[in-house]
Structure 1
Amino acid sequence: MGRWILIGLLIALALVTLIALVVTRIENAQYTKNRSHLSSTPTGRAAKVNTVIVVFSRSGNTGVLADHIALQTAGHVYEISAESYQLGISGWINALKDARSNVADITPSHIDLEPYDTVFLGSPIWLYSPAPPIWQFVKDNDFTGKNVVLFNTFNSKFKQQYIDDFAKLVFAKGAKSFKHRYVKRGRMGDQISQQQMLKEFDAQSTEVKQVGHVYVNH
Protein backbone atom coordinates (compact mmCIF):
# COMPACT_ATOMS: atom_id res chain seq x y z
CA MET A 1 0.00 0.00 0.00
CA GLY A 2 2.82 2.38 0.94
CA ARG A 3 4.52 1.66 -2.35
CA TRP A 4 1.48 2.72 -4.36
CA ILE A 5 1.11 5.90 -2.31
CA LEU A 6 4.75 6.73 -3.03
CA ILE A 7 4.25 6.05 -6.74
CA GLY A 8 1.15 8.26 -6.74
CA LEU A 9 3.04 11.09 -5.04
CA LEU A 10 5.89 10.82 -7.53
CA ILE A 11 3.46 10.93 -10.45
CA ALA A 12 1.71 13.98 -8.96
CA LEU A 13 5.06 15.70 -8.44
CA ALA A 14 6.07 14.93 -12.01
CA LEU A 15 2.81 16.39 -13.34
CA VAL A 16 3.19 19.57 -11.28
CA THR A 17 6.77 19.96 -12.47
CA LEU A 18 5.69 19.44 -16.09
CA ILE A 19 2.91 22.03 -15.76
CA ALA A 20 5.32 24.52 -14.19
CA LEU A 21 7.84 24.00 -17.00
CA VAL A 22 5.20 24.43 -19.70
CA VAL A 23 3.68 27.54 -18.12
CA THR A 24 7.02 29.24 -17.50
CA ARG A 25 8.15 28.43 -21.03
CA ILE A 26 5.01 30.09 -22.43
CA GLU A 27 5.45 33.09 -20.11
CA ASN A 28 9.06 33.55 -21.19
CA ALA A 29 8.04 33.35 -24.85
CA GLN A 30 5.33 35.95 -24.24
CA TYR A 31 7.78 38.24 -22.47
CA THR A 32 10.26 37.98 -25.33
CA LYS A 33 7.55 38.85 -27.84
CA ASN A 34 6.05 41.63 -25.73
CA ARG A 35 9.38 43.22 -24.88
CA SER A 36 9.78 44.54 -28.43
CA HIS A 37 6.40 46.26 -28.14
CA LEU A 38 6.92 47.81 -24.73
CA SER A 39 7.87 51.45 -24.95
CA SER A 40 10.02 53.43 -22.59
CA THR A 41 7.33 56.02 -21.96
CA PRO A 42 8.93 59.00 -20.21
CA THR A 43 7.80 59.73 -16.67
CA GLY A 44 9.00 63.33 -16.63
CA ARG A 45 6.51 66.14 -16.18
CA ALA A 46 7.61 68.80 -18.64
CA ALA A 47 4.05 69.17 -19.92
CA LYS A 48 0.71 69.05 -18.14
CA VAL A 49 -0.47 65.45 -18.06
CA ASN A 50 -3.79 64.47 -16.50
CA THR A 51 -3.50 60.68 -16.68
CA VAL A 52 -1.11 58.18 -15.15
CA ILE A 53 -0.93 54.45 -15.82
CA VAL A 54 0.52 52.24 -13.08
CA VAL A 55 1.02 48.63 -14.12
CA PHE A 56 2.34 45.33 -12.84
CA SER A 57 2.95 42.79 -15.60
CA ARG A 58 4.93 39.54 -15.39
CA SER A 59 5.02 38.42 -19.01
CA GLY A 60 4.32 41.81 -20.57
CA ASN A 61 0.76 41.38 -21.83
CA THR A 62 -0.75 43.90 -19.42
CA GLY A 63 2.32 46.08 -19.98
CA VAL A 64 1.58 46.27 -23.71
CA LEU A 65 -1.97 47.34 -22.86
CA ALA A 66 -0.62 49.98 -20.46
CA ASP A 67 1.50 51.50 -23.22
CA HIS A 68 -1.53 51.47 -25.51
CA ILE A 69 -3.54 53.41 -22.93
CA ALA A 70 -0.66 55.86 -22.55
CA LEU A 71 -0.68 56.56 -26.28
CA GLN A 72 -4.43 57.14 -26.21
CA THR A 73 -4.36 59.43 -23.19
CA ALA A 74 -0.90 61.02 -23.50
CA GLY A 75 -0.40 59.63 -20.00
CA HIS A 76 2.66 58.74 -17.97
CA VAL A 77 3.47 55.07 -17.37
CA TYR A 78 4.98 53.70 -14.17
CA GLU A 79 5.79 50.00 -13.97
CA ILE A 80 5.89 48.40 -10.56
CA SER A 81 7.95 45.29 -10.00
CA ALA A 82 7.86 42.51 -7.42
CA GLU A 83 11.00 40.42 -7.13
CA SER A 84 9.11 37.44 -5.70
CA TYR A 85 7.16 37.08 -8.95
CA GLN A 86 9.95 37.26 -11.52
CA LEU A 87 9.65 34.98 -14.54
CA GLY A 88 10.64 31.39 -13.85
CA ILE A 89 9.36 28.43 -11.86
CA SER A 90 9.98 29.96 -8.42
CA GLY A 91 8.19 33.17 -9.42
CA TRP A 92 5.26 31.21 -10.81
CA ILE A 93 4.99 29.14 -7.62
CA ASN A 94 5.10 32.28 -5.47
CA ALA A 95 2.42 33.89 -7.63
CA LEU A 96 0.20 30.85 -7.24
CA LYS A 97 0.83 30.68 -3.50
CA ASP A 98 0.26 34.40 -2.86
CA ALA A 99 -2.55 35.03 -5.34
CA ARG A 100 -5.14 35.74 -2.64
CA SER A 101 -2.89 37.45 -0.09
CA ASN A 102 -3.27 41.00 -1.51
CA VAL A 103 0.12 41.79 0.03
CA ALA A 104 3.40 42.13 -1.86
CA ASP A 105 6.85 43.69 -1.67
CA ILE A 106 6.83 46.14 -4.59
CA THR A 107 9.07 48.77 -6.16
CA PRO A 108 8.24 51.62 -6.23
CA SER A 109 5.80 51.43 -3.37
CA HIS A 110 4.75 55.09 -3.64
CA ILE A 111 4.16 57.48 -6.53
CA ASP A 112 3.04 61.10 -6.25
CA LEU A 113 -0.41 60.96 -7.84
CA GLU A 114 -1.37 64.52 -6.92
CA PRO A 115 -0.80 66.00 -10.44
CA TYR A 116 -3.18 63.52 -12.10
CA ASP A 117 -6.95 63.44 -12.44
CA THR A 118 -7.24 59.86 -13.72
CA VAL A 119 -5.28 56.83 -12.54
CA PHE A 120 -5.25 53.58 -14.52
CA LEU A 121 -4.18 50.56 -12.46
CA GLY A 122 -3.19 47.46 -14.44
CA SER A 123 -2.38 43.87 -13.55
CA PRO A 124 -3.04 40.31 -14.63
CA ILE A 125 -5.70 38.22 -12.88
CA TRP A 126 -4.35 35.51 -10.57
CA LEU A 127 -6.84 32.94 -9.26
CA TYR A 128 -9.79 35.18 -10.22
CA SER A 129 -8.40 38.30 -8.47
CA PRO A 130 -6.11 41.19 -9.45
CA ALA A 131 -2.48 40.29 -8.69
CA PRO A 132 -1.21 41.18 -5.17
CA PRO A 133 1.24 43.93 -6.29
CA ILE A 134 -1.58 46.18 -7.54
CA TRP A 135 -3.49 45.72 -4.26
CA GLN A 136 -0.34 46.67 -2.37
CA PHE A 137 0.12 49.76 -4.51
CA VAL A 138 -3.38 50.98 -3.64
CA LYS A 139 -2.71 50.40 0.06
CA ASP A 140 0.49 52.44 -0.13
CA ASN A 141 -0.86 55.46 -2.04
CA ASP A 142 -3.37 58.31 -1.80
CA PHE A 143 -6.18 58.42 -4.38
CA THR A 144 -8.09 61.39 -2.99
CA GLY A 145 -10.30 62.90 -5.69
CA LYS A 146 -9.03 60.58 -8.43
CA ASN A 147 -10.95 58.76 -11.14
CA VAL A 148 -9.58 55.22 -11.00
CA VAL A 149 -9.75 52.63 -13.79
CA LEU A 150 -8.65 49.07 -13.07
CA PHE A 151 -7.64 47.19 -16.21
CA ASN A 152 -6.80 43.49 -16.37
CA THR A 153 -5.79 40.83 -18.84
CA PHE A 154 -6.24 37.17 -18.00
CA ASN A 155 -6.39 33.61 -19.28
CA SER A 156 -9.37 32.23 -17.37
CA LYS A 157 -11.79 34.60 -15.61
CA PHE A 158 -12.20 36.95 -12.66
CA LYS A 159 -14.74 36.87 -9.85
CA GLN A 160 -16.78 40.01 -9.35
CA GLN A 161 -16.49 39.80 -5.57
CA TYR A 162 -12.74 40.48 -5.80
CA ILE A 163 -13.29 43.42 -8.14
CA ASP A 164 -15.88 44.78 -5.69
CA ASP A 165 -13.39 44.40 -2.83
CA PHE A 166 -10.76 46.20 -4.89
CA ALA A 167 -13.19 49.05 -5.55
CA LYS A 168 -13.91 49.33 -1.82
CA LEU A 169 -10.19 49.61 -1.11
CA VAL A 170 -9.77 52.30 -3.79
CA PHE A 171 -12.65 54.31 -2.32
CA ALA A 172 -11.24 53.88 1.18
CA LYS A 173 -8.08 55.56 -0.17
CA GLY A 174 -10.10 58.58 -1.36
CA ALA A 175 -11.02 57.89 -5.01
CA LYS A 176 -14.17 59.55 -6.33
CA SER A 177 -14.98 57.00 -9.08
CA PHE A 178 -13.97 53.52 -10.18
CA LYS A 179 -14.30 51.58 -13.43
CA HIS A 180 -13.20 48.12 -14.45
CA ARG A 181 -12.05 47.21 -17.97
CA TYR A 182 -10.59 43.89 -19.02
CA VAL A 183 -9.63 41.56 -21.83
CA LYS A 184 -9.64 37.76 -21.78
CA ARG A 185 -6.59 36.64 -23.73
CA GLY A 186 -7.56 32.96 -23.85
CA ARG A 187 -5.91 29.82 -22.50
CA MET A 188 -2.15 29.67 -22.08
CA GLY A 189 -1.65 27.68 -25.26
CA ASP A 190 -4.25 29.47 -27.39
CA GLN A 191 -4.25 33.22 -26.84
CA ILE A 192 -5.48 36.08 -28.97
CA SER A 193 -2.92 38.30 -30.67
CA GLN A 194 -1.73 41.60 -29.24
CA GLN A 195 -3.63 43.43 -31.96
CA GLN A 196 -6.85 41.63 -31.05
CA MET A 197 -6.29 42.30 -27.36
CA LEU A 198 -5.96 46.03 -27.99
CA LYS A 199 -8.93 46.02 -30.35
CA GLU A 200 -11.15 44.32 -27.76
CA PHE A 201 -10.04 46.77 -25.10
CA ASP A 202 -10.83 49.75 -27.31
CA ALA A 203 -14.23 48.31 -28.21
CA GLN A 204 -15.29 48.54 -24.57
CA SER A 205 -15.24 52.33 -24.67
CA THR A 206 -17.46 52.49 -27.76
CA GLU A 207 -20.01 49.76 -27.06
CA VAL A 208 -23.47 50.95 -26.07
CA LYS A 209 -23.61 48.27 -23.39
CA GLN A 210 -21.23 49.08 -20.55
CA VAL A 211 -18.68 46.39 -19.97
CA GLY A 212 -17.96 45.74 -16.30
CA HIS A 213 -19.20 47.77 -13.34
CA VAL A 214 -18.96 51.49 -12.70
CA TYR A 215 -18.87 52.81 -9.14
CA VAL A 216 -19.12 56.36 -7.81
CA ASN A 217 -18.09 57.37 -4.32
CA HIS A 218 -20.89 59.39 -2.69
Structure 2
Amino acid sequence: MKHNFLEKNFEKLTYVLEMIITGLIAIGVIVGLVDLVKYFGVIFITDPAGSYELFQDFLAYALILIVGVELMLMILYHSTEAILELVLFVIARKMLIYSHTMLDLVLGTLAIAIVFAILRFLVHKDNEDIVKRGKGVYSASAKIEEITKKTGFNLPTDRAQTVGGLVCILAEDACKPVEEGSEFESGDIKIKVVKATEEGLIEEVKITRKDKSKA
Protein backbone atom coordinates (compact mmCIF):
# COMPACT_ATOMS: atom_id res chain seq x y z
CA MET A 1 0.00 0.00 0.00
CA LYS A 2 2.86 2.37 0.81
CA HIS A 3 4.46 1.57 -2.52
CA ASN A 4 1.24 2.44 -4.37
CA PHE A 5 0.95 5.69 -2.42
CA LEU A 6 4.50 6.73 -3.30
CA GLU A 7 4.04 5.71 -6.92
CA LYS A 8 0.83 7.75 -7.29
CA ASN A 9 2.40 10.81 -5.66
CA PHE A 10 5.54 10.61 -7.78
CA GLU A 11 3.35 10.25 -10.85
CA LYS A 12 1.48 13.42 -9.90
CA LEU A 13 4.75 15.21 -9.16
CA THR A 14 6.26 14.34 -12.54
CA TYR A 15 3.08 15.48 -14.29
CA VAL A 16 3.14 18.82 -12.42
CA LEU A 17 6.82 19.32 -13.26
CA GLU A 18 6.13 18.58 -16.92
CA MET A 19 3.32 21.15 -16.95
CA ILE A 20 5.59 23.75 -15.31
CA ILE A 21 8.31 23.12 -17.89
CA THR A 22 5.73 23.28 -20.70
CA GLY A 23 4.43 26.59 -19.34
CA LEU A 24 7.94 28.05 -19.20
CA ILE A 25 8.59 26.94 -22.77
CA ALA A 26 5.31 28.57 -23.84
CA ILE A 27 6.35 31.84 -22.18
CA GLY A 28 9.72 31.63 -23.91
CA VAL A 29 8.06 31.10 -27.30
CA ILE A 30 5.73 34.06 -26.76
CA VAL A 31 8.65 36.30 -25.78
CA GLY A 32 10.57 34.97 -28.78
CA LEU A 33 7.73 36.00 -31.11
CA VAL A 34 8.29 39.61 -30.10
CA ASP A 35 11.96 39.37 -31.05
CA LEU A 36 11.01 37.58 -34.28
CA VAL A 37 8.82 40.52 -35.32
CA LYS A 38 11.70 42.91 -34.59
CA TYR A 39 13.74 41.16 -37.28
CA PHE A 40 11.52 42.72 -39.96
CA GLY A 41 12.57 46.23 -39.03
CA VAL A 42 16.25 45.28 -39.02
CA ILE A 43 15.96 43.48 -42.38
CA PHE A 44 14.19 46.49 -43.89
CA ILE A 45 16.99 48.92 -43.07
CA THR A 46 19.85 46.52 -43.88
CA ASP A 47 21.56 46.71 -47.26
CA PRO A 48 21.16 43.75 -49.66
CA ALA A 49 24.67 42.51 -49.01
CA GLY A 50 23.99 41.98 -45.32
CA SER A 51 20.31 41.05 -45.51
CA TYR A 52 21.08 37.50 -46.69
CA GLU A 53 22.79 36.47 -43.47
CA LEU A 54 20.24 38.41 -41.46
CA PHE A 55 17.35 36.60 -43.15
CA GLN A 56 19.13 33.30 -42.51
CA ASP A 57 19.25 34.20 -38.82
CA PHE A 58 15.55 35.09 -39.04
CA LEU A 59 14.71 31.63 -40.42
CA ALA A 60 16.86 29.94 -37.76
CA TYR A 61 15.06 31.89 -35.03
CA ALA A 62 11.62 31.08 -36.49
CA LEU A 63 12.40 27.38 -36.74
CA ILE A 64 13.73 27.18 -33.18
CA LEU A 65 10.43 28.67 -31.98
CA ILE A 66 8.57 26.00 -33.96
CA VAL A 67 10.78 23.37 -32.34
CA GLY A 68 9.76 24.82 -28.97
CA VAL A 69 6.07 24.47 -29.86
CA GLU A 70 6.57 20.88 -31.04
CA LEU A 71 8.46 20.13 -27.82
CA MET A 72 5.44 21.37 -25.86
CA LEU A 73 3.18 19.01 -27.82
CA MET A 74 5.54 16.11 -27.17
CA ILE A 75 5.55 16.78 -23.43
CA LEU A 76 1.77 17.15 -23.31
CA TYR A 77 0.82 14.07 -25.32
CA HIS A 78 3.83 11.75 -25.06
CA SER A 79 2.83 10.47 -28.49
CA THR A 80 5.01 8.74 -31.05
CA GLU A 81 3.80 11.06 -33.78
CA ALA A 82 4.59 14.19 -31.75
CA ILE A 83 8.14 12.93 -31.11
CA LEU A 84 8.72 12.20 -34.78
CA GLU A 85 7.31 15.57 -35.85
CA LEU A 86 9.71 17.24 -33.43
CA VAL A 87 12.58 15.29 -35.01
CA LEU A 88 11.42 16.40 -38.47
CA PHE A 89 11.55 20.09 -37.54
CA VAL A 90 14.96 19.69 -35.92
CA ILE A 91 16.30 18.04 -39.08
CA ALA A 92 14.65 20.68 -41.30
CA ARG A 93 16.26 23.47 -39.26
CA LYS A 94 19.63 21.79 -39.55
CA MET A 95 19.26 21.41 -43.33
CA LEU A 96 18.01 24.93 -44.05
CA ILE A 97 20.39 26.82 -41.80
CA TYR A 98 23.52 24.79 -41.25
CA SER A 99 23.91 22.63 -44.37
CA HIS A 100 26.83 23.88 -46.45
CA THR A 101 27.81 20.81 -48.47
CA MET A 102 26.00 18.31 -50.67
CA LEU A 103 26.77 15.60 -48.11
CA ASP A 104 24.88 17.57 -45.44
CA LEU A 105 21.84 17.81 -47.73
CA VAL A 106 21.98 14.11 -48.64
CA LEU A 107 22.24 13.02 -45.00
CA GLY A 108 19.42 15.38 -44.00
CA THR A 109 17.18 14.11 -46.79
CA LEU A 110 17.95 10.52 -45.80
CA ALA A 111 17.08 11.28 -42.18
CA ILE A 112 13.75 12.84 -43.19
CA ALA A 113 13.00 9.84 -45.41
CA ILE A 114 13.63 7.50 -42.47
CA VAL A 115 11.26 9.48 -40.24
CA PHE A 116 8.54 9.41 -42.92
CA ALA A 117 9.07 5.66 -43.34
CA ILE A 118 8.61 5.16 -39.60
CA LEU A 119 5.41 7.23 -39.67
CA ARG A 120 4.11 5.32 -42.68
CA PHE A 121 5.00 1.73 -41.85
CA LEU A 122 5.70 1.46 -38.11
CA VAL A 123 3.23 3.88 -36.53
CA HIS A 124 -0.26 2.47 -37.11
CA LYS A 125 -3.18 4.81 -36.68
CA ASP A 126 -5.45 2.21 -35.10
CA ASN A 127 -2.92 1.44 -32.38
CA GLU A 128 -1.05 4.70 -32.19
CA ASP A 129 -0.14 6.27 -28.89
CA ILE A 130 -1.17 3.37 -26.68
CA VAL A 131 0.44 5.06 -23.71
CA LYS A 132 -0.76 8.65 -23.44
CA ARG A 133 -0.21 11.47 -20.95
CA GLY A 134 0.90 9.53 -17.88
CA LYS A 135 1.56 6.04 -16.65
CA GLY A 136 -1.48 3.83 -17.01
CA VAL A 137 -3.39 6.20 -19.32
CA TYR A 138 -4.38 4.63 -22.63
CA SER A 139 -6.10 5.65 -25.81
CA ALA A 140 -9.62 4.21 -26.07
CA SER A 141 -8.70 2.82 -29.48
CA ALA A 142 -5.82 0.78 -28.07
CA LYS A 143 -6.15 -2.95 -28.69
CA ILE A 144 -6.80 -5.05 -25.58
CA GLU A 145 -4.37 -7.71 -26.78
CA GLU A 146 -1.60 -5.13 -27.14
CA ILE A 147 -2.22 -3.74 -23.65
CA THR A 148 -2.25 -7.25 -22.21
CA LYS A 149 1.07 -8.09 -23.87
CA LYS A 150 2.77 -4.86 -22.81
CA THR A 151 1.47 -4.62 -19.23
CA GLY A 152 0.33 -8.09 -18.17
CA PHE A 153 -3.12 -6.75 -17.21
CA ASN A 154 -5.70 -9.52 -17.08
CA LEU A 155 -8.21 -7.94 -19.45
CA PRO A 156 -10.87 -10.05 -21.19
CA THR A 157 -10.04 -10.36 -24.89
CA ASP A 158 -13.26 -12.18 -25.78
CA ARG A 159 -15.67 -9.32 -25.00
CA ALA A 160 -14.19 -6.48 -27.07
CA GLN A 161 -11.23 -5.66 -29.28
CA THR A 162 -10.45 -2.19 -27.93
CA VAL A 163 -10.32 -0.90 -24.38
CA GLY A 164 -12.99 1.67 -25.26
CA GLY A 165 -15.31 -1.07 -26.41
CA LEU A 166 -14.69 -3.00 -23.21
CA VAL A 167 -15.62 0.06 -21.13
CA CYS A 168 -18.91 0.39 -23.03
CA ILE A 169 -19.74 -3.26 -22.31
CA LEU A 170 -18.82 -2.90 -18.63
CA ALA A 171 -20.97 0.24 -18.47
CA GLU A 172 -23.95 -1.68 -19.87
CA ASP A 173 -23.39 -4.50 -17.38
CA ALA A 174 -23.25 -2.04 -14.48
CA CYS A 175 -26.05 0.20 -15.86
CA LYS A 176 -23.78 3.22 -15.44
CA PRO A 177 -23.33 6.18 -17.80
CA VAL A 178 -20.06 6.63 -19.66
CA GLU A 179 -18.62 9.98 -18.61
CA GLU A 180 -15.38 11.45 -17.34
CA GLY A 181 -14.59 10.07 -13.90
CA SER A 182 -16.67 6.90 -14.29
CA GLU A 183 -14.95 3.78 -12.96
CA PHE A 184 -15.51 0.17 -13.93
CA GLU A 185 -14.03 -3.12 -12.77
CA SER A 186 -13.06 -6.29 -14.57
CA GLY A 187 -11.56 -8.97 -12.35
CA ASP A 188 -8.61 -7.42 -10.52
CA ILE A 189 -8.47 -4.47 -12.94
CA LYS A 190 -10.02 -1.02 -12.48
CA ILE A 191 -10.71 1.16 -15.52
CA LYS A 192 -11.41 4.87 -15.14
CA VAL A 193 -12.61 7.15 -17.95
CA VAL A 194 -10.29 10.18 -17.85
CA LYS A 195 -11.40 11.82 -21.10
CA ALA A 196 -14.71 11.60 -22.95
CA THR A 197 -16.89 13.80 -25.14
CA GLU A 198 -20.30 15.13 -24.11
CA GLU A 199 -21.85 12.51 -26.39
CA GLY A 200 -20.24 9.74 -24.34
CA LEU A 201 -17.46 8.94 -26.81
CA ILE A 202 -14.50 7.62 -24.81
CA GLU A 203 -11.10 9.06 -25.72
CA GLU A 204 -8.76 8.05 -22.88
CA VAL A 205 -8.93 5.68 -19.94
CA LYS A 206 -6.68 4.87 -17.00
CA ILE A 207 -6.11 1.22 -16.17
CA THR A 208 -4.80 0.16 -12.77
CA ARG A 209 -4.88 -2.89 -10.57
CA LYS A 210 -7.34 -2.82 -7.69
CA ASP A 211 -5.79 -2.16 -4.30
CA LYS A 212 -5.80 -5.59 -2.73
CA SER A 213 -5.38 -4.11 0.72
CA LYS A 214 -8.87 -2.58 0.41
CA ALA A 215 -10.46 -5.79 -0.81
Task: Output the TM-score relative to the length of structure 1.
Answer: 0.30
- Which one has the largest radius of gyration? 2
| Structure (1/2) with the larger helix percentage | 2
| Structure (1/2) with the larger strand percentage | 1
